[in-house]
Amino acid sequence: MRRWSLLLFVLLTACGQGPQADLQYIKQARSISAEWALVNEQANRGRLTITYVQSMRGWLHDGLETASGSLSQPHSRYGAEIRALLAEPPDAAPAELRRYAEALKQIEAEFESA
């Protein structure tokens, strides 16, 4: 049984397009928004150096731009979420960033169960 499901998975991966192909970028964007929230939360508590915070925000933003630019369906619901996330200011509230992470996680779960 497992062998057949593996074969099916291999074939689906090879033919993957659209939302399924975008899944890795959705995951990437979800992780980045959650990490951004963690960085901002620790920065607000004064536990990180300013240089590190600015640098991390820059790299995370770059990663988000790459994920957004790699989407095969940029005008989808998840594309809109990622664009909205990109528009957030560097010192966005951690709770707001976590809201994006949750929304993307939900979309991820929908695709994975489909």
Partner 1 sequence: MNPLELTLGIMTAVGGFVDISELVFAAKAGSTFGFALVWVFAFSTVGIIVFSEMSGRVAAVAKQPVFSLMRHRLGLKLGLITLIASIISNLITCAAEIGGVALILNYLTGGPYLPMVIAVTVALIASIWVLPFKWVERAYGLLGLFMVVFAVALVANHPQWHQLAGGFVPQVPDGLSTKELLTFGYFAVAIVSAVMFPYEVYFYSSGGIEEGWSPKDILTNRLTSILGMGLGSLLAISILANSAVVFGPANVNPEIPGSAALEAAIPFGKWGLILALLGMFFAVAGAAVETCLANAYSIAQFFGWKWGRHKKPWEAPRFTVTWILLFVAALGIVLTGVDVMTLVEFAVLFSILVLPLTYLPLLLLSGDRAFMGRYINGAITKTLGWFYFCVVTVAAMVALPLYFLTSGGNG
- Residues lying near partner 1 in the complex (CB under 8 A): 2, 5-6, 9-10, 13, 23-24, 27-28, 30-32, 34-35, 37-39, 42, 46-49, 51-52, 54-56, 59-60, 63, 101, 105, 112
Q: How far is the CB of 101 from partner 1 (least distance, A)?
A: 6
Closest CB to partner 1 among 55 and 73?
55
| 46 Rama class: left (phi>0) / alpha (psi -120 to 50) / beta | left
Q: How far is the CB of 65 from partner 1 (least distance, A)?
A: 12
Please, what is the end-to-end C-alpha distance for the chain in angstroms? 19
Going from the C-alpha of 11 to that of each of 1, 6, 17, 20, 90, the distances in angstroms are: 16, 9, 12, 13, 41
Closest CB to partner 1 among 10 and 80?
10
DSSP classification of residue 71: -
Q: How far is the CB of 80 from partner 1 (least distance, A)?
A: 20
Q: How far is the CB of 37 from partner 1 (least distance, A)?
A: 8
Closest CB to partner 1 among 31 and 76?
31
In sequence order, which residues have a C-beta less than 8 Å from that of residue 64 and are 6 or more positions away?
29, 32, 33, 82, 85, 86
* Site of tokens 């929304």: 103
